[in-house]
Structure 1
Amino acid sequence: MALVCTTASVPDGEKLAYWRDALGRALVPMAVTARGDGPFSGRVSTDRLGWLRVSTVEADAQRTSRTAAHIARSAADYVAVAVQTAGTATLLQDGRRALVGESDLMVYDTARPYSLDCPRRFSALVVHMPRRAVGLPEEDLRRVTGTAVAGTDGLGALLASFLTTLTSSVPPCSPAVAARLASSAVDLFATLVNERTAGDGPPEEDPHHHLVPRIRDHIDRRLGDPELSPQSVAAAHHISVRYLHRLFEEEGVTVGRLIRRRRLEECARELSLRGPSAPTVSAVAQRWGFANPAHFSRVFRTAYGLSPREWRGAGARLPLAG
């Protein structure tokens, strides 16, 4: 359910303080200074779509700034993409000054100080993407933060239209559909960043490849969980299953097969142990996530050419599972 905060019923002398707190809860903590003389007026609505936080802001002229002190007290970092739907703004971050007009997009990083100056009443759509979900290299993010992107043509127009539609037209949907929509938004943003940073320096490897070792580590630490699957791995890393499979295309193995291979390797290693304290075949299978003994026996024989009991009896040593 969306969180909606408005100054409409707040006493005039308390409106600005209320607004500062409302922005801190809906967006991120920041300092707020009103630029007008009369009672301040503002409204902010925020909701979740998958792992995205999507907000709309409409307010009188103001200046907001996020300082190192605010950042130190924050538990999460986001990459923010805002669509200026009315009015203008000036964004300052990383030594850059971006003038943002109506329909333009702006990009900033909540993990670094920034300020945003809106000289008259304005409205904006703000999408916060968790940094780990974006997955772009730090150097690429720093090339686009503190910048404005025209929202009238090219990828900028496509992203602005998609984000606006997410806010205004998407009906309530299941968590799975919400996750796919969030993944699409992140992919569009990453494509925009790649386009804007192409040619700025030497070619970079795929900006998401750093996720692969993290995902492999996640799998290794959860091999004993029978529920471990491509779906659970994707959800844990805030990406879609489709994108997870794309990440592993160059690894030469699907995620499902990698999980099975790593489980079999650990089972084969344990079954090679000798002595009175050596675990039973069924105990080994259960410890490494195989809930069905018959299924375990079949896949083990397919991988190693021997049943688990034959492997133990032969005192085999661990080859690479296929």
Structure 2
Amino acid sequence: MNLVLTTASVPDGEKLAYWRDALSTALVPMTVATRGDGPFSGRISTARLGHLRVSAIEADPQRTSRTPRHIAQAPADYIAIGVQTAGTATLVQDGRHAGASEGDLVVYDTTRPYSLDYPEPFSTRIVRMPRRAVGLPEEDLRRVTGTAISATEGFAALLVSFLTALTTSVPACSPSVAARLADGVVDLFATLVEERTRGRGEQAAGAHKHLVLRIRDHIDRNLGDPALTPQTVAAAHHISVRYLHRLFEGEGITVARLIQQRRLHECARELGRPDAPTRTVSAVAQRWGFANPAHFSRVFRAAYGRSPREWVRAGSFT
């Protein structure tokens, strides 16, 4: 861990304020109320891992709260996963009350008010992920935030094991390795979310199918934009590229290939019309998003077995 913050050497009268600032630095701004009358003790180790922040916390009983005032004054768009490694916790968010025991996961959203109550000395491991990195639909995230998940439930066991090992001692590694580890955490979390939303049966499947149809329609409406890529498609639908690719795993085609296929189809249709000789091949290619004429000719021949000019002469579109 890169940073260790502890109340050990802080005067008793200043411990609570110090601890509140420590948690706000490592996690997000919040209030802290201690339980009990004796001196308070707390320790937090925190470090960055790619686009994640991972923290290990050990402390005396307390209640932490993120209020609307905190959200207004210090917006923080994160999804947080906590692994309860000792003691118990109660998470309250969106009207849900979720109790977590040792080994359980809690998931919450820092853009909405929440509280975490620890009634006894505890330790927890928290991973904070930017929402843009998670890239899951809001309706899916809402099904898991404000909840506790038992480590005995399906995919959660693997995620708990991985997060506990990772947050106990963040490895010293290169930025590229750290980025891959962070992506691995996000992938594991996304898989857990999908596992739990699939439990909704046809409702979840229908939502995914609807999203795929929206994405296909978006691609068709923007074929002429040479900047149309999986990255821009994902951004337009507020999901990650990783999640976009996962959506299309059952479609039998990648998003990049679909964009090229639809562009080629429209070019072939236009070049095969009776009045096609009045248009230049490069103008048609550019109209449908191909910025490089030589590249267009290569991929057209690969798809249709003829060059664009041969296609025009043959009037071949069917």
Regarding TM over 0.5, the answer is yes
What is residue 190 of structure 2 aligned with on the other side? 187
Q: Structure 2: state its 5+ residue gaps.
A: none
Describe the superposition over 1:97-123 as per-residue Cα deviations: whole angstroms up to 9, x where unpaired: 233222222222323221111123221
Residues 61-90 of structure 1 show CA distances to partners (whole Å, capped at 9, x for unaligned) of 211111122223444433322111112222
- Secondary structure of 2:204's aligned partner: coil
CA–CA distance in structure 2, aligned partners of residues 305 and 222 of structure 1 = 23
1:228-285 deviations in Å (ceiling 9; x for gaps): 8668988995454xx64432134443223123235557878999999xxx99939966
Distance 1:222 1:51 in 2: 34
Could you say which residue in structure 1 is the equivalent of 2:116?
A: 116
2:226 to 224, 227, 237: 224
Q: In the alignment, what sits opposite 1:298?
A: 298
Which amino acid is 1:224 matched to? Answer: P
Compared CA separation, residues 223 and 100, structure 1 to 2 (3 A): same
Q: Is the 8 A contact 1:100 1:106 kept in 2?
A: yes
Alpha-carbon shift at residue 148 of structure 1 (Å): 2.6
- The secondary structure found in structure 2 opposite 1:90 is strand
The separation in 2 between residues aligned to 1:231 and 1:29, in whole angstroms, is 32
> Residues of 1 paired with 2:223 and 2:120: CA distance?
53
Distance across 2 between alignment mates of 1:41 and 1:218: 56
Report if aligned partners of 1:71, 1:111 keep a CA contact under 8 Å in 2. Answer: yes
Q: 1:202 to 1:267 in 2, by over 3 A?
A: closer
Alpha-carbon distance in 1 for matches of 2:91, 2:36: 19
2:107 match: 107
Q: Counterparts of 1:209 and 1:46 in 2: how far apart (Å)?
A: 40
2:180 to 177, 196, 200: 177
Counterpart residue number, 2:26:
26
What secondary structure does 1:20 align onto? helix
Whether contact under 8 Å (1:43, 1:57) holds in the other structure is yes
Code of the residue aligned with 1:186 in structure 2: it is F
Tell me what 2:40 maps to. Answer: 40
Unpaired runs of 5+ residues, structure 1, are none
Give secondary structure in 1 for the equivalent of 2:29: coil
- Alignment check: 8 A CA contact 1:61 1:119 kept: yes
Deviation string for 1:5-46 (max 9, x for gaps)? Answer: 333444444332232222223212211122243443323233
CA contact (8 A) 2:224 2:287 kept: no
Aligned equivalents of 1:26, 1:309: Cα separation in 2: 62
Output the CA distance in 1 between the equivalents of 2:26 and 2:52.
Answer: 12
Mapped contact 1:57–1:124 kept (Cα < 8 A): yes
SS at match of 2:184: helix
Secondary structure of the residue that 1:248 maps to in structure 2? helix
Residue 166 (1) aligns with residue 166 (2): yes
The match for 2:59 is 59
CA contact (8 A) 2:52 2:128 kept: yes
Q: Structure 1 266/37 Cα, relative in aligned 2: closer, same or farther at 3 Å?
A: farther
One-letter identity of the residue aligned with 1:64: T
Kept in 1: contact 2:263–2:289 (CA 8 A)? yes
Contact 1:135 1:211 in 2 (8 A): no
Provide the aligned C-alpha RMSD in A: 4.5
Q: 1:204 to 1:298 in 2, by over 3 A?
A: same
For these two proteins, the number of residue pairs brought into alignment is: 309
Could you tell me the percent identity over the aligned residues? 59
Give a deviation string over 1:144-196, Cα, whole Å, max 9, x none. 4333333356443333112212323663252562254134322342145236x
What pairs up with 1:237-248 in 2 under 5 angstroms? 237-240=239-242, 244-248=244-248
Deviation >6 Å, runs of 4+: 231-236, 265-274
Cα separation, 2, equivalents of 1:52 and 1:217: 31
- The aligned residue for residue 281 of structure 1 is 282
| 1:126 paired to 2:122 | no
Q: Structure 2 length as normaliser, TM-score? A: 0.72
